[in-house]
Amino acid sequence: MGLNIFGNDPATQPRPRNSFKDDIVGRFRSGHQLNGRPAALKEWRITTGDPEVADEIHALFGGDAPQTWEAKGEDNIEVFTASNKIGIILESANALRQKMVLWSRAGKLIQSGDGQTIDYPEDRKGEPDPDAHLSFQERKAKARDGFGAEPQIEVYFRLAENPDLGIFKFQTGSWSMASDLAYNGVEDELADLIADHGKAKAILELEEVSFVAKNGPRAGQTVSYTKPVLTLKGAA
């Protein structure tokens, strides 16, 4: 038990320790800016606005010491960790959120939905997605050309090694992750785990992929990239 030796004078009270148990305290990122251009990473980069959180991240996952960066938001401290695979806890079915979104060049949301049905804008809510008939590769190509919707995936979670540190967020537009989540039925599996047990364990990983292209402009060449992977590991 701590000692209460400061009386009732507010001026002599000890500094309250920040508690972010139920706040979003940081973001997991799979890339960064290198010479003004986006570059992928093989280990997680975690950003936060709180030095205590940054220090704990560094203690848990190693890597470079916390440093400041030119952030657009409040998470102006970054830690380039030495970990590509981190245990997490998901506390609700809504901890995993997926949409297909179409943005204008000015950054305004034009359309969103689940890939089959539109849920925005309101006057089109419930209409079939005009790209629902397209194959996965056709959707991806249309999005790459700037005319089609792309995935927006958000994961909200706690760290398995320190759940009380607060809630973290990972957001990505990865087509590979969208494909894996849909193919493996992860959203339904998570809903079942939450319904039965209240919480779910998972691994959030940056997985390296390498293969020799069989066709297309890079046929015969080795293609390598890193993709984010969410793997459920049962009840927490």
Query: What pTM value is reported for the model?
Result: 0.86
Contacts of 197 (CB under 8 A, 6+ apart): 235, 236
Q: Residue 11 has what pLDDT?
A: 55
State the number of CA atoms in the 13 A half-sphere of 176 facing the CB. Answer: 12
Residue 157, both tokens: 């979670």
Would you kindly state where each structural domain of the chain is located, as residue ranges?
21-83
191-209 burial string, b = 16+ CB within 10 Å, else e? Answer: bebbeeeeebbbebbbbee
233 in Cβ contact with 201 (< 8 Å): yes
Residues lower than pLDDT 50 in the chain: 1-6, 17-19
Q: Three-class SS of residue 135?
A: coil
Please tell me the predicted confidence (pLDDT) of residue 35.
84
Q: What is the predicted pLDDT for the residue at 194?
A: 98
- The whole-number pLDDT of residue 101 equals 97
| pLDDT computed for residue 128 by the predictor | 95
pLDDT given at position 219: 85
Q: Return the pLDDT at 81.
A: 99
| Per-residue confidence (pLDDT) for residue 9, from 0 to 100 | 57
